[in-house]
Amino acid sequence: MTQGQETRKRLVETAAGIFNTRGYSGTAVSDLMAATGLQKGGIYRHFESKEQLAVEAFDYAFEMAVRARFQDFDRLTSPLQQLRHFIRNFVHRRSPIPGGCPMVNTAVENDDGNPVLKQRARQAVNVFVDRLVDTIERGIEQGEIKRDTDARTFALLLFSALEGALVVSRLQGSFKPLEAVALTLERYLDERVDLDERTASGKSSH
């Protein structure tokens, strides 16, 4: 990596925390200069505009959120266990980027705001929810989850309830609301377990 590439990478990583904390409107180029020690010209050597930097910073923050929430996800073979693990990760694992969930932050600020960032948030939510839909569908196929489960609706419920509870928790300065909602979702998941299929296929209960 050249020095220029390293500077660019560091700029994106630092900007991710600032944009995710203060928002796109709330971040001035002077904030980015102060945080990175770069002059305005140094920033604009790497990025055409504040918007372009914000988009790359969002992509980075999103990637970090996905890594935290899906950590060790692929090491599990059971879709049911993957879903339980996802819920627990959401509560207990933190992205290193401060400021809460980049998807919700960017969505809420830009749903009537910057169209490029709104589109980016929309794609990110789709990718994220689709991964849950895929997991639930595999769970149904493998006989772990009841066949009458609507995979997309269930995925949306998981995403919406956890994200909503995270907003409440950050507001209250306590993770209790998120923990309580996560536990309810785990119990809800337990009720979706296809016990008949599991017994029929000789699988042991968890």
Interface contacts to its own copies, rule CB under 8 A: 21-23, 25-26, 98-100, 104-105, 107-109, 111-113, 118, 121-122, 125, 129, 150, 152-154, 156-157, 159-165, 167-168, 170-172, 177, 180-181, 183-185, 188, 191
Q: How far is the CB of 129 from its own copies (least distance, A)?
A: 8
How many angstroms separate the first and last alpha carbons of the chain? Answer: 47
DSSP 174: -
- CA-based nearest residue to 8, from 42, 54, 49: 42
Handedness of CA 62, 68, 70, 72 (dihedral sign): positive
Q: Which is nearer to its own copies, 42 or 177 (CB)?
A: 177
Best CA proximity match to 87, nearest among 189, 4, 176 = 189
Q: Which one, of 54, 43, 47, lies nearest residue 18 by Cα?
A: 54
Helix, coil or strand: residue 136: helix
With respect to its own copies, which residue has the nearer C-beta, 152 or 203? 152
Query: Least distance in Å: CB of 162 to its own copies?
Result: 7
* In the complex, least distance from residue 46 CB atom to its own copies, rounded to whole angstroms: 24
Which of 8/194 has CB closer to its own copies? 194
Q: Least distance in Å: CB of 86 to its own copies?
A: 15
Q: Which is nearer to its own copies, 80 or 125 (CB)?
A: 125
